[in-house]
Structure formats: C-alpha cells, structure tokens
Structure 1
Amino acid sequence: MFLAWNEIKRNKLKFSLIIGVLIMISYLLFLLSGLASGLINMNREGIDKWQADAIVLNKDANQTVEQSIFNEKDVKDTYNKQTTLKQSGVIVSNGNVEENALLFGVTDNSFLIPKMIEGKKFTSNNEVIADETLKEKNFKIGDHLSLSQSDEKLKIVGFSESAKYNASPVLFANNQTIEKINASLGQNKTNAVVVKDKHWKDKHVNNDLEAIEIESFVKNLPGYQAQNLTLTFMISFLFVISATVIGIFLYVITLQKTNLFGVLKAQGFTNGYLAKVVLSQTLIIAMIGTVIGLLLTLITGAFLPSAVPIKFSAVTLVVYGVVLILVSLIGSLFSILTIRKVDPLKAIG
C-alpha cells in the first residue's frame, strides 16, 4: 500500500485522469440509482401506504383498476379487513393550475387514506383530500376545483401525505362524489376491493373476479417493469464500462512500466507482491473516485427541483459503491496478468 500510494503521488496527472473518469461514472451511476428509486416510488408510493395484502379485481380487467367494475356484494364480508376502491382519472384546475390526477372514491374511515398533514377529512359530498404533491403545485385548502369531464365542482378540505399512484397525484372523496362524476360507478358498484388479510389465499371469490397479491399487482402497473428494466440495464452497463475503463488505463500504465517491473523482479520482488501493488493502487483510486462521485451526487440531489423523481437509498448507494470498487479491482486483473509475463532479462535489455 505504501509503494502504491507513493507512486500515485509521484504520477498525479496519470492517476488523476483515471480518478476523473471514475468520478464521472460513479456520479452517473448514483444519479441513475436515485432516478430508478424515484420512479419506482412514484408508481407505488400510495399503494405501499395501504399496507394491504391483496386486491380483488374483475378477471377481464387485465389487472387495471379503472377497467374493473363489479358489484360490491360479490366480495362482501369475504375477508377479515377489506375496503372498496372506486377510481376515475380526472383533469382538475383551481383557476391557475391544471393537473392530471386520479380521484379515489373511498369510505370516510378507509385505510386507503394516508396520514393527514393539514386540514381535515371530507365530511360531505364534493369535498376532497389531496395528497401533498398537489400542494407543491400551488393547490391550497379551500380551492374549488373544476373538472374537464364534469360540471361538478370539488373543494379541497385537507392534504394527506404524498400518495402517488402510477405516477399520478391522488384526490380522495366519498363514494357519492365519484358516482356523480363517473356514471358507470353507480350505487353498489366498485372498481376494486383492497384486502388486509394474511390468509386471503384461503378465501374464495366469485368466478368472474380474481384476488391478486399486492406485489404482483404493482409489478403489472402500466410502465412499471419497462422503466425498471431499462434503468437496471443502464446501471449494469455502467459497471461493465467502469471495469473496462479501469482495465484499459491500468494496462497502458503497466506497459509503460514494463522495464521497471523487470528491474523489481530482478531484485527479488515476486509476482504476488507486484500484483498486490496494482490491486492497492486500484483500490485507492476506486475509493477516491467513488467517494467524490457520491458527494457530488448528494449535492446535486439537494438542488434538484421536486419535479425530478429522484430518491436516494443509503443502502443502495453503499451497495453500488462497494460493487463499483469490486468491479474496478476486477478490471485491474488484465494488468496483473501482464506483470506475470514480464521477463526480467528482456525488460532490462
């Protein structure tokens, strides 16, 4: 380690170039991991807050809530704890801001409503609770919302914790309100029944319905898997690129020092010792590059606007950082193989 560090200090420019490339790779890698987590959170945030075990939908709805309609009585008292969910896509405007949102029709004591952060719950028709992402877009308590597809007016009476569903903000209203806006959701009709019951698989529902595990339901949300797979492939390729870049840089440096390695071998230094020197150098520059990249990522994240769906997980950042360092060490193996082939007599000339 001492020899490795001294060589890095003596050849600052060469090793600074490698560190600079690693900083850029790790910076992009950490940002992509935050973006991936943010997009996942946008899709499933509200669903996770249900803390539900399953959801019951019409079999012909292709696991899509809004396309599923059935009679509430078909699932009545089937599970230990259950609640109906009526959903309708809406475009709302408070006169200044227009926003696409989802309107959820729920009972006033439903566990689908997240924790309140301001105002009160709805107590009458046409009153709604908005999730806080709408508050960030200049919607306020007391705003009267007009709808593009209905003459009904909604009034915001409170804000809940952020509860995005499939990347859309959510408004919560009573069942009577959504029934007036969406005629297909008449009395005793619902889009879904959300279930809290650890033994839900042992219960049977109407043959026209299906009970789906929540995690499976989330994975089948429109665009969810496509986004995740795309970002996962990008992150994987970055790891490969990192190993390749480190390997190429160290290989070139090793070729430039062939004579030096020949002299060291002639003086009695073993292949194992020289391999440790190369690994030590790689470890040092990989750690410096990764740490600086992580710091730049956290600084960038602090200044990004709320509209950017980015969310950092400490565990993910640490895991990716460790993997990046390990991948860099793997990239240095090309140099180690080259050192083993150096003939002291030929190198000295």
Structure 2
Amino acid sequence: MKMAWKEMKKYKLRYTILGSIIFLISLLTLSISGLASGLSQDNAALIKNMPEGTFYMEESAEENHSFSALSDEQIDSLKDADSDVTLFSIQMGEFQDNEDKKHSLAYVSADDSVIFPETAPGEIVVDQSFQEEGFEVGDTVSTSLMDKDLTITGFAEQEKFSHSPVGFINSEDFFEMYRTDTFQLAFTTAAEEPVDELSHFNNGDFLNTIPSYSAEQMSLNMIIIFLYVISGMLFAIFFYMINVQKLGTFGILKAIGVKTFTLFKMMWTQMFIITIISLLLAVGVSQLFNMFAPSGMPFHLTASMVLLSSGAFMIIGFIGATLSGIQIKQVEPMQAINQGGA
C-alpha cells in the first residue's frame, strides 16, 4: 500500500490523467443509466407499478393491445381461473382545459380493481404531472371523444404510458369514448393459465409489447455495455504501458526477494485508489444532476443503480489491471535489469 501510494505521488500527472478519464466515463455511464431508467419510467410506469403477474391479450391482436378485444367467453374463462382478475383497457387520447389548450394522455379504464384508482362516471384521476402544470382537484376538462365534461378528482403518482401521462376514467365513459363494449386486456396475480385465443405475458414480456420500449432500452443498454468495455480496455492499456516502463524496477525488486504477488497487490491498490476517487466524484456529480434536473427530463438514478455501476467498474478495472500485469509474472530478474539498463 505504501509503495503504491508513493509511486502515485511521484507520478501524479499520469495517474491524474487516468483518473480523469475514468471519472468522465463513469459519469457518462451513470448519466446514460439514469436516462435509460427515466425513459423506462416515462414509457411504462403504469405497467412497472403493477405487481408481478400475467397479462392476457387477444391472440389475433399480434401483441398490439390497441387491437385487442376480450370476448365474453374469454372473460368468463379468466374469471373461472381467478375471480379477482383485473380487466382493463388503454387508449391514447387527449383533453382540453378551460382555456381550450389540448393535452395528450393515455386513458386507462378498469373494472372493480385495487390496482388502479377508482372513478365514477364523469370523473378522472390524472398523473401528478398535470398538477405541476397548474391543474387542481375540481377542475373540469373536455374531450372531443364524448359530449360531457370530466371532473378531476385526484392525482396519481408516477403513472405514465408510452411517454404520456395517464388518466384513469370509469369504464362507462371509456366505452362511450371509444365505441366499444369490452375490455382489451386482463391481468391476474394467480398462476398462469392458458386461455383459448389469448396470448399471455409476464410483466417483462408485456413491457416489450409497448411500441418503442424494447428498441429504446436496448439502444441505451448497448451504449452502457460499450462504456464498461472501454473502461476495462483503458485500465489494461494504461497499466500495460506503465509496467513496460518499470520492467527494470520489477527485475530489481524480484532479485531482492519481492514476490510477484506483492507487485500485483501494488498494481491492484493503485487501480482501486484511482477507481474509488473517480467513482466518488462521478456519483457526486450525477446525484447533484439527479436533484436539480428539470422536472420534464426523464432522469431517474437510484441508489441500487449507482451501487451496481460502481461494482461493475471495480470488477472491470480489476480484470483490466490483472490482464496487463501478466508480464510482471513472466519477467526474469536479470533479463529485466538488462532491459532497464539498455
């Protein structure tokens, strides 16, 4: 530890450069992770807030909930399997406020269920983002989809679907608005039961039926993976170059009886010191951004994500540094001394 720290103080510039690069890469990784999580919440918070269970959709809809319509026979079969099954529908729409300004949202309607807010005919419960825009309980809104107005009776926390805030309405209003008489989807927390002409999905699979969700998350996760790979390569290349320059020193140390494992410990110590300092700075900056980011920006960085990313950087840095140190094990004392003298 003492030897590693002395060398880092002697060659401050080279280790500062590496630390700065790791800081920037880890900050970028945390930022993209927060963005990926924020976009995931913004795209599918409605589904992610639901408990683990099974979703049912009409098979002929080809995994597009907008085209699904459950028949009476299918609903009866689902209720036979689970009397507490939740029937619900989701459709994109809009409403107008008192100033005739239009707002887009996803209308959600369900039968009697504890999963979604309960509403009476003529009532609507909207996502809290509308409260931040100045809406209040008791305000009335109108829609071109039906003649009567809807009264806001409450605000739901973090309920989004397909990058739009959600509005929960009574099934009577929903059926009138979309000229239908049945629900699109069913959800049950009971064991998965096959039903004729219905496709079933777990929570994760159902998320992938949401347009753009899978492609959006896959793109961002690929960027994060590449950043981890780049950080590992940086550690390997940096320590490899340093080790090449210190072959003569390693030879002398081996000649006086210093074990190879001790030299590896010195390199690992340097790697951990650089990584920990860089990560602490990156985590601090990312948390400040998380606190002061604009409310409309979909950024959501949790403590578990920070710990997971930090752990990944530590492991990748350890692997990269270890691979670069293979030459330490292979070096012969006299050969290294001669190379250092040359």
For the aligned pair, the TM-score class normalised by the smaller chain equals: 0.7 to 0.9
Matched, 1:110 2:99: no
Cα RMSD (Å): 2.4
Q: Determine the C-alpha separation between the residues in 2 that align with 1:289 and 1:97.
A: 47
Tell me whether 1:122 sits opposite 2:125 in the alignment.
Answer: no
1:309 and 2:298 matched? yes
Q: What is the 5 A alignment of 1:1-349?
A: 1-51=1-51, 53-72=53-72, 74-76=74-76, 77-78=79-80, 79-94=82-97, 95=99, 98-107=102-111, 109-114=112-117, 122-123=119-120, 125-183=121-179, 185-186=180-181, 189-196=182-189, 198-201=190-193, 205=195, 207-339=196-328, 340-341=330-331, 343-349=336-342
SS in 2 for 1:278: helix
Q: 1:103 to 1:275 in 2, by over 3 A?
A: same
> Is this contact kept in 2: 1:262–1:348, CA < 8 A?
no
CA-CA distance at 1:3 after TM superposition: 0.4
- Aligned-partner SS, 1:7: helix
Q: Following the alignment from structure 1 to structure 2, what is the Cα–Cα distance between the partners of residues 252 and 97? A: 62
| Structure 1 contact 263–347 (Cα < 8 Å) conserved | no
Answer whether contact 2:249 2:337 (CA < 8 A) is retained: no
Structure 2 CA distance for aligned equivalents of residues 167 and 230 of structure 1: 17
The SS at the match of 2:142 is: strand
- Contact (CA 8 Å) 1:141, 1:157: kept in 2 or not? yes
The one-letter code of the counterpart of 1:199 is A
- Relative to structure 1, the CA distance from residue 334 to residue 347 in structure 2 (aligned partners, 3 Å threshold; closer, same or farther) is farther
Asked if structure 1 preserves the Cα contact closer than 8 Å seen for 2:60 and 2:68, the reply is yes
- Number of residues of Structure 1 aligned to a counterpart in Structure 2: 334
Corresponding residue SS for 1:343: helix
Q: Is the 8 A contact 2:145 2:178 kept in 1?
A: no
State the alpha-carbon separation in 2 of the partners of residues 334 and 49 from structure 1: 43
Q: In the TM superposition, what whole-angstrom CA distance separates every residue of 1:298-318 from its partner, at most 9, and x where no partner exists?
A: 111111112222222322321
Separation in 2 of the partners of 1:191 and 1:143?
Answer: 29
The 1:111/1:6 distance shift into structure 2, 3 A limit, reads same
Query: What percentage of aligned pairs have identical amino acids?
Result: 25
Query: Do the aligned partners of 1:88 and 1:178 also contact (CA within 8 Å) in 2?
Result: no
State the AA in 2 paired with 1:195: T
**Distance change (3 Å), C-alpha of 1:334 and 1:133:** same
Going from structure 1 to structure 2, the CA distance change for 1:145 and 1:12 (only over 3 Å counts) comes to same
Task: Give, in whole Å, the separation in 1 of the partners of 2:221 and 2:15.
Answer: 30
Residues 64 and 152 from structure 1, CA distance in 2 versus in 1: closer, same or farther, beyond 3 angstroms? farther
User: Which AA in structure 2 matches 1:347?
Assistant: G
CA separation in 2, counterparts of 1:221 and 1:283?
41
Amino acid at match of 1:268: G
In the TM superposition, residue 218 of structure 1 has moved relative to its aligned partner by 2.1
TM-score of the superposed pair, with normalisation by structure 1: 0.86
Q: Which amino acid aligns with 2:294?
A: P
- 2:29 partner amino acid: L
What is the alpha-carbon distance in structure 2 between the residues aligned to residue 101 and residue 122 of structure 1?
17
Within 2, Cα distance between the matches of 1:323 and 1:211?
35
Q: Deviations over 1:193-216 (max 9, x none)?
A: 2223x2341xx53x3333433332
* Structure 2: gaps (5+ residues): none
Structure 1 residues 78-132: Cα deviation after superposition (integer angstroms, max 9, x where no partner): 222123213321122323753321112234x422324xxxxxx533x32211121
Using a 3 Å threshold, how does the CA distance of structure 1 residues 213 and 338 change in structure 2: closer, same or farther?
closer
Q: Which runs of 5+ in 1 are unaligned?
A: 115-120
Change (3 A) 1:276 1:67: same
- Distance verdict in 2 for CA 1:49–1:338, change over 3 Å: closer
Per-residue displacement from partner, 1:9-64 (whole Å, max 9, x unpaired)?
22222211111111111111112222222222233322233326222322111222
Give the whole-Å Cα distance in 1 for the aligned partners of 2:199 and 2:72: 14
Q: Is the 8 A contact 1:144 1:153 kept in 2?
A: yes
